[in-house]
Structure 1
Amino acid sequence: MKKAGIIMIIGSLLLLGLFKFPLWNIMLGAPQYPDPLGMNIHITGIKGVHEFDIQNIDGLNHYIGMKKIPKPEEMWEFDVFPKVILGMVTLGVVIGLLGIFKKLSFRWFLGWLILMSILGVLGMYDFNLWLTEYGTDLDPNAIMKMTHPDGSPMTYKPPLFGHQKMLNFDVDSYPHTGGYMLFAGMLLTLIAFFVGKREWKTQKI
């Protein structure tokens, strides 16, 4: 399964892009901000798209009672996620190499993909929980207390994916370069599974 093993290795190595490029991006645009404010979510921390974006977002959030954007040391995810990605890359490369030397079945490629998919879903679930807490756990002593027409407190949870209007801000949340590299790597491992299955059948003939 030489071809399948090589594809598997390439797909696994694409995950290393997460150490350089953001996984996700959230942008906030409003009339008073010709250049939208933005956050890039890396697996090691959250950074502003521009130099002072985090500072400006924290300043805006202060008025409505939202917490400051957490630093890497304040979230366990930024310590665990890099280790998980390195572990999956290593496992994927090992499986690919063993596949090249016909030491294991093509089914291992699918097993890696299933495990990575489960971890990805858990990661997105955790990310959504953080967004929910970030946008709903407000300081009761905030300078501005916005309410819905029915009198209930307004919350400011950014969308997990897509576009949302919050007050006079347009908020967009989408994958960034690292996220697309992750998806591409997982797609390649799926291709490796089917190529490996075909090569295995050919060897049996």
Structure 2
Amino acid sequence: MKKASIFMIIGPLLLIGLYFFPLWNIILGAPQYPEPLGMNIHIDGIRDMNEFDLKNIDGLNHYIGMRTLPKPEDMWEFSTFPIVIGGMVALGVLIGLLGYFGKLSYKWFAGWFILMSILGVLGMYDFNAWMVDYGTNLDPHAIMKLANPDGTPMTYKPPLLGHAKMLNFDVTSLPETGAWLMFLGMMLTLLAFYLGWKNRNSTTQ
């Protein structure tokens, strides 16, 4: 149980990487841009991939009626997510410590994993909902009003994951370092649960 508890302590600590590394990355490439434009999605805001990228993206979006990219103060998520992540780190470490000293069952490790998974799914849903609104709720007075072949207004929702073609831009959306650290941390807590379950009849439990 002690070995399992150590993994349970290390796993949530990896989530601290979300405060330093981006969670997601969206890249826009086009022939007129030798260096692709990109934005890094952090838990507390959206930042340039390269200098002036956000400014250039907002300039392009203006022509097709998309809103400017939100500042941290424009979205409640950017102030809430850091608190939620901090709470999950503290909770996970506490569970690991209590498990190490034999105060909690290994089943609590699975509880943390399930709770973190639910929060992750809700976060992805919220992120996708924001992109839908951002790419479809366009200014009716935009300079360029483009339509699909069937006559419906064209939308510009970036893909949640993967690649999409929008006008002459190739848009790629992929998880970044922070997301991979979170995934690794969650896998360690799942390993901790497995080790605890495997050794559930040992005298160290």
TM-score (ref. length: structure 2)? 0.98
Does residue 97 of structure 2 align to residue 84 of structure 1?
no
Partner of 1:68: 68
Structure 1 residues 43-58: aligned runs within 5 Å: 43-58=43-58
Aligned partners of 2:116 and 2:101: how far apart in 1?
23
Aligned partners of 2:199 and 2:2: how far apart in 1?
9
Aligned partners of 2:149 and 2:196: how far apart in 1?
59
Aligned partners of 1:73 and 1:96: how far apart in 2?
35
**RMSD between aligned residues:** 1.1
Aligned partners of 1:130 and 1:176: how far apart in 2?
19
CA contact under 8 A between 2:2 and 2:204: conserved in structure 1? Answer: no
Aligned partners of 2:91 and 2:150: how far apart in 1?
53
Aligned partners of 2:14 and 2:197: how far apart in 1?
22
**In structure 2, what residue type is equivalent to 1:123?**
G
Aligned partners of 2:184 and 2:98: how far apart in 1?
22
SS of the residue aligned with 2:200? Answer: helix
Partner of 2:34: 34
Partner of 1:12: 12
Count, aligned residues: 205
Aligned partners of 2:166 and 2:197: how far apart in 1?
49
User: Any gaps of 5 or more consecutive residues in structure 2?
Assistant: none
Partner of 1:147: 147
- Using the TM superposition, give the Cα deviation of residue 196 of structure 1 relative to its aligned residue in structure 2, in angstroms: 1.2
- Using the TM superposition, give the Cα deviation of residue 202 of structure 1 relative to its aligned residue in structure 2, in angstroms: 2.2
Aligned partners of 2:78 and 2:119: how far apart in 1?
15
- Using the TM superposition, give the Cα deviation of residue 204 of structure 1 relative to its aligned residue in structure 2, in angstroms: 8.3
- Using the TM superposition, give the Cα deviation of residue 144 of structure 1 relative to its aligned residue in structure 2, in angstroms: 0.4
Aligned partners of 1:7 and 1:179: how far apart in 2?
19
**In structure 2, what residue type is equivalent to 1:175?**
P
**In structure 2, what residue type is equivalent to 1:120?**
G
TM-score (ref. length: structure 1)? 0.98
- CA offsets per residue over residues 29-64 of structure 1, 9 Å max, x none? 000011100010000000010110000000000000
Q: Percent identity?
A: 69
Aligned partners of 1:99 and 1:93: how far apart in 2?
10
CA contact under 8 A between 2:39 and 2:48: conserved in structure 1? Answer: yes
